[in-house]
Amino acid sequence: MRIQLIRSATLRITYAGHTFLIDPYLAAKHTMPSFTGASPNPLVDLPCSPQEVLADCEMVVISHLHSDHFDAVAQSLLSKDMPIFCQPGDETTLSTYGFQNVSPITHSILWKSIQITRTDGQHGSGEVSSEMGQVSGFLFQHEQEPSLYWAGDTIWCEVVEDTIEREHPSIIVTHSCGAVWRKSTLIVMDAQQTMTVCQRAPESVVIATHMDSLDHATVSRRDLFAVAREHRIRSDQLFIPQDGEVLIFGE
pLDDT in tens, 120-133: 999 988 888 878 87
Identity of the amino acid at 45: D
Q: What is the pLDDT of residues 32-83, one digit of tens each?
A: 999 999 999 999 999 999 999 999 999 999 999 999 999 999 999 999 999 9
* Single-letter residue type at 187: I
Residue 23: predicted pLDDT? 98
Superfamily of domain 2-248 in CATH is Ribonuclease Z/Hydroxyacylglutathione hydrolase-like (3.60.15.10)
- Residue 228's identity, in one-letter code, is A
Calculate the dihedral angle through the C-alpha atoms of 173, 174, 176, 182, rounding to the nearest 10 degrees: 140
Domain ranges of the chain: 2-248
Can you list the residues of the chain whose pLDDT is less than 70? none
Q: What pLDDT is recorded for position 234?
A: 96
Say if CB 250 and CB 231 are below 8 A apart. Answer: no
Q: Where are the alpha helices (DSSP H) in 101-237?
A: 126-132, 158-167, 191-200, 221-230
